[in-house]
Amino acid sequence: MSSRLLAISLSALLAAALPASTVNAAAPTDNLLKLHQLRLAAQKSLGDFYMYNSMEGDQRYARMIEESLQGASSRLNEITEMPGEASKALRAQLGQQWSDYAGELKSLSSALKTQGFTDLQPVADLATRNQQLIALSSELYSKIQQESGLNVPPLTQQSREQSLLMQTIAVDYASRSASVGGTFFGGGGESQSIDQLVNEFAGKLTGMESAPQNTPQIRQSLSGINTKWRYIEKSLKNYNENSVPFVISKYSDSIIDGLEGVSAQYAAAKL
């Protein structure tokens, strides 16, 4: 079982074992975790589509698209009990945006399977809708904290942001490899080059490794993540010279799993 799936299972078991009053108090925290997991799955679904395109219709990636869609849908359905009216409204908007995005992705995936190609404009539109979806989910993430008065602990938040950054890099790289005429930069602001994103990830990973609160287990996990990162870092920086989308996809998934495991440890320690 991957670290992401393990974290989801552990949070569910913990909630089941707690008294009802404690579970209600923990609802914003649980919703924030599930919203984070939704963002990761939504980003990954676009990267899976790019991989499906660049790997010439390899059905492994068609299955991965479906898994990412199912994962995001499951997390969305579990996000309930919003703390205020603004977050309720955003949650409703997110549900509609997700439905529209998932429908478009399924349609394009079907077209790729039957025709062997897709038009560029619908793919560009899909990427734009994905950006809007991530931006809206990020807005909801902030609004839940604002209305509940519960903030994600700093190191937990930092590790989550690092997972999202790795996913953004992987999707951007996959889009270039697929030659679909568009790039993807998360959902929050000015676009950055892949070189800038790579440098940002490397710097933040070094900062995470130096955190004095790290336990021996966390330090070991981060060391393993660093080893995998260094393996693909050069390829990411030289993306125009030698495209290796399969390697980047595989290692980025593993790095994200590792980061989500670290994040779960930070969250358990309220760090």
How high is the pLDDT of residue 120?
86
- Number of domains present in the structure of the chain: 1
Write out the residue range of the structural domain in which residue 137 sits.
Answer: 3-268
Task: Give tens-digit pLDDT for 94-135.
Answer: 999 999 999 999 999 999 988 888 888 999 999 999 999 999
Which of 7-11, 14-18, 253-257 has the highest average model confidence (pLDDT)? 253-257
Q: What is the DSSP string of 112-151?
A: HHHHS---HHHHHHHHHHHHHHHHHHHHHHHHHHHHH---
Largest CA distance in the chain: 57
Of 3 and 155, the one with more pLDDT: 155
Task: Give tens-digit pLDDT for 40-76.
Answer: 999 999 999 999 988 877 889 999 999 999 999 999 9
